[in-house]
Structure 1
Amino acid sequence: MTDDHDGVPELLAAWAFGALQPADEKAVPAHLAGCESCAAEAERLRETVRLLDVSPGTAAAGNGSPAARNGSAAVSRNGSAPGVTGGGSAGASVGGPAGADGVLALALRSRPALPRVAAHAAPYAAAVAGLRALLREVDGHGPWGTPVVHDWDVRDTVGHLIAADEQLAVRLGLQSHTPPSRTTEDTPWEEAWNTRTADVIAYERTRDPQETVATWAARAAALLATPEAVDPEPAARATTLMGVRLPVSDHFVVRAFETWIHSDDIGRALGLAVPPPPDAHLWQLVRLAVRVLGMALGPTAPPVLFAVTSGESSTEWVLGSEDEAVRGELVLDAVDFCLLMGGRYTPDEVPRGVAGDEDAVGNVLERAAALSWL
């Protein structure tokens, strides 16, 4: 092929799955580096690969590069298509030319079965699939002992997720993890959270990292197989976790939030870009985060018009007192808002748009950042 635009769109799906013909392996990435429209479409297709949890290269034999084996964690937040400096190496494609329709159809037929879950558990299922795919890349991009966040390395972070998932799992009738918990129902939730994390991480440090990953993956799968994950009716009952009383359905969204945040932590540590949740899932995280923030601010806080944006979508809420006129306006990007709530931005660092009373807006930002337990 030539470096012209003609012919490239038909090859983008093959590129996303690491199934390019040898003759196209250099030309397609070179074209993506200079063509915004093709780069954007390549990004969309690579994200599709990640969400399907299909390992690139399954459409062709002989694909051995780590980047080509895994489509997860491959889209950068700034919108650039990853991998434009190199494509996957592949042998002959299966079933004829590796056009977009053929490769995507093959991927859909060969993808692993995903758990059938209700809408409230879908973000958690997707976050689990994304982290599983990301963890398959660890050996190729850095040791398991790579520092990630707090004083945790990659394995420790997965161990923390085991402990974090356990709180919901036990409430839903699943067994607790080894070692036995030292906390009780009367233990303040912050102390219980920190104690259990420390105990599980200490135990997991005695095991092979792959055993830790297998334990986490099995616990996540068990959570997604509970009646509360597949049926909205039992998920409607409320329970208190991490000091907040919410329906079980919302606690599944919380699990999605934390799993994605720590996936992003691991990706940053390893130099792998982790994309945000799909837009529908991202808005589920945002809506829950706004509700929790509203409860934390209470009915007497100076009222602020709060807008969250994602692409061309935008939603507004009024936070604080209902008895006063709005005193300030705050605009945050959806991902930035989630990162602020997750403690990955300080109130001064998060990109924002502000109008009106800066003190009232600052109160919202500070309260959002203070809610993080991650």
Structure 2
Amino acid sequence: MTTDHDGVRELLGAWAFGALPPQEEKAVPLHLGECESCAAEAERLRETARLLGGPRGTAMINGSAERGGPSPGEPEGLLALALRSRPAASRVAPHAAPYAAAVAGLQALLRELAESEPSWATPVVHDWDVHATVGHLIAADEPLARGLGLDRREPVTPAAEDTPWDVAWNARTADVIAYERQRTPEETVAAWAAQAGALLATPEALDPERAAHALTLMGIRLPVADHFLVRAFETWIHTDDIGRALGLAVPPPPGPHLWQLVRLAVHILGMALGTTAPPVLFTVAGEEGDERDDTQWVLGSEDEPVRAELVLEAVDFCLLVGGRYAPDEVPRGTSGDEAAVRNVLERAAALSWL
């Protein structure tokens, strides 16, 4: 049990989310009573946990149950109810709210896993099991965390300055997963939750003006606000991966959050297609009951008439961009030049590095 300043400070994020092993859980309050700076940081992280519905705040699952709804034994179950009730984390700015909600959703799923029979070794995606998938999310959040000044995590992966980003990224992911496999799943979840909580406590998560500056991460230069949306996107995709592997239904992001992800994905897809691709009228259709009407963009060249039309549902489009649909398998409506449509679908699927 660590009680030194640096050791306890590394535990604060996990402590705020109630994700520490019992022996380390006891160390934190002892240190907070003696260290004013750690006590202040713990209070900030605890407020973030409360807004996310974490264990040290308003318990999301219990709160959902109090509003009425199925009990754990009923068809929808407590997990789906909790995921559908993901809070918007009102203290964070709108650009960070989808990430906050996605973090809360994955926490609900992982709590369900910790309390039930399915194994952490259940295969999920690529060659990752549940444990490795959470380790991958630690690595995936790191570039933004470092870009916002958060401490670098162990182990350190050396890379030459001219190493292509995707080569460096694959090496880092492999190193983090290998490191986390030496630890318990609970320790890995605690590390992920701590880093997520720290990201959501940064000034850039709270202030849109601070999030307006651009960073180049994962080979693309975007405002920090959009990088938070990328983190929301990937967290939701992998939550869905884990849910599918375990036979648990994971709802899509709440409507307003889903459309934030859609708009970002369309923007990046437009950048990837450039201005020379055959132009396609692209419609992303909302489900019945959405507050938004269908939304359209012209993708590709602006100097020639539209050659084709393509219609995708919002969730299907996100799953295509997330690499969870093959271009020829995603449900769609089309008309016109099939080659132009296929170009858009293939470029969308190629965006995924998840």
Cα distance per residue 1:123-171 (max 9 Å; x no partner): 0000000000000111414100000000000010000000000010000
Query: In structure 1, how many angstroms separate the alpha carbons of the residues matched to 2:236 and 2:143?
Result: 18
User: Could you say what secondary structure the match of 1:266 adopts?
Assistant: helix
Counterpart of 1:25 in structure 2 is none
Percent identity over the alignment?
A: 69
| 1:309 matches 2:285 | yes
Query: In structure 2, how many angstroms separate the alpha carbons of the residues matched to 1:212 and 1:271?
Result: 22
| 1:199 matches 2:178 | no
Cα distance per residue 1:92-145 (max 9 Å; x no partner): xxxxxxxxxxxxxxx9xxx99946100000000000000000001114141000
- Tell me the TM-score normalized by structure 1: 0.73
User: Could you say what secondary structure the match of 2:227 adopts?
Assistant: helix
Pairing partner for 2:163 from 166, 183, 187? 187
Counterpart of 1:261 in structure 2 is 237
CA-CA distance at 1:59 after TM superposition: 4.0
User: Could you say what secondary structure the match of 1:191 adopts?
Assistant: helix
Structure 1: runs of 5+ lacking an equivalent:
1-48, 77-81, 83-106
| 1:169 matches 2:115 | no
Counterpart of 2:60 in structure 1 is 53
Cα distance per residue 1:192-250 (max 9 Å; x no partner): 11111100000101111001001000100000000000001110000101111000000
Query: In structure 2, how many angstroms separate the alpha carbons of the residues matched to 1:367 and 1:218?
Result: 35
Query: In structure 1, how many angstroms separate the alpha carbons of the residues matched to 2:175 and 2:134?
Result: 13
Does the 8 Å contact 1:73/1:130 carry over to 2?
no
Counterpart of 1:125 in structure 2 is 100
User: Could you say what secondary structure the match of 1:72 adopts?
Assistant: helix
| 1:233 matches 2:234 | no
Cα distance per residue 1:316-371 (max 9 Å; x no partner): 00000000000000000000000000000000000000001111011000010111
Counterpart of 2:186 in structure 1 is 210
Letter in 2 for 1:202: A
User: Could you say what secondary structure the match of 1:240 adopts?
Assistant: strand
| 1:134 matches 2:141 | no
Aligned residue-pair number: 292
Structure 2: runs of 5+ lacking an equivalent:
1-52
Pairing partner for 1:320 from 291, 294, 300? 300
Letter in 2 for 1:133: A
User: Could you say what secondary structure the match of 2:209 adopts?
Assistant: helix
Pairing partner for 1:223 from 199, 203, 214? 199
| 1:367 matches 2:347 | yes
Letter in 1 for 2:299: L
CA-CA distance at 1:53 after TM superposition: 2.5
Pairing partner for 1:116 from 65, 69, 91? 91
- Alpha-carbon spacing, 1:69–1:314, altered in 2? closer, same or farther (3 Å): closer
Pairing partner for 1:73 from 66, 74, 80? 80
Counterpart of 2:226 in structure 1 is 250
| 1:332 matches 2:328 | no
- Tell me the TM-score normalized by structure 2: 0.77
Does the 8 Å contact 2:139/2:172 carry over to 1?
yes
Tell me the C-alpha RMSD between the 2 structures: 2.9
- Alpha-carbon spacing, 1:71–1:183, altered in 2? closer, same or farther (3 Å): farther
Cα distance per residue 1:287-327 (max 9 Å; x no partner): 00000000000000000000001114310000000000000
Query: In structure 1, how many angstroms separate the alpha carbons of the residues matched to 2:184 and 2:160?
Result: 29
- Alpha-carbon spacing, 1:65–1:308, altered in 2? closer, same or farther (3 Å): closer
Does the 8 Å contact 1:340/1:368 carry over to 2?
yes
Does the 8 Å contact 1:56/1:70 carry over to 2?
no
- Alpha-carbon spacing, 1:118–1:324, altered in 2? closer, same or farther (3 Å): same
Query: In structure 1, how many angstroms separate the alpha carbons of the residues matched to 2:254 and 2:173?
Result: 29
User: Could you say what secondary structure the match of 1:299 adopts?
Assistant: coil
Does the 8 Å contact 2:95/2:226 carry over to 1?
yes
| 1:273 matches 2:263 | no
Does the 8 Å contact 1:160/1:197 carry over to 2?
yes
User: Could you say what secondary structure the match of 1:119 adopts?
Assistant: coil
Letter in 2 for 1:370: A
User: Could you say what secondary structure the match of 1:275 adopts?
Assistant: coil
Query: In structure 2, how many angstroms separate the alpha carbons of the residues matched to 1:296 and 1:307?
Result: 17
Greater Rg over alpha carbons, structure: 1
- Alpha-carbon spacing, 1:306–1:68, altered in 2? closer, same or farther (3 Å): closer
Letter in 1 for 2:147: R
Pairing partner for 1:146 from 122, 128, 150? 122
Query: In structure 2, how many angstroms separate the alpha carbons of the residues matched to 1:70 and 1:193?
Result: 37
CA-CA distance at 1:57 after TM superposition: 8.0
Cα distance per residue 1:236-269 (max 9 Å; x no partner): 0001011110000000000000000000000000
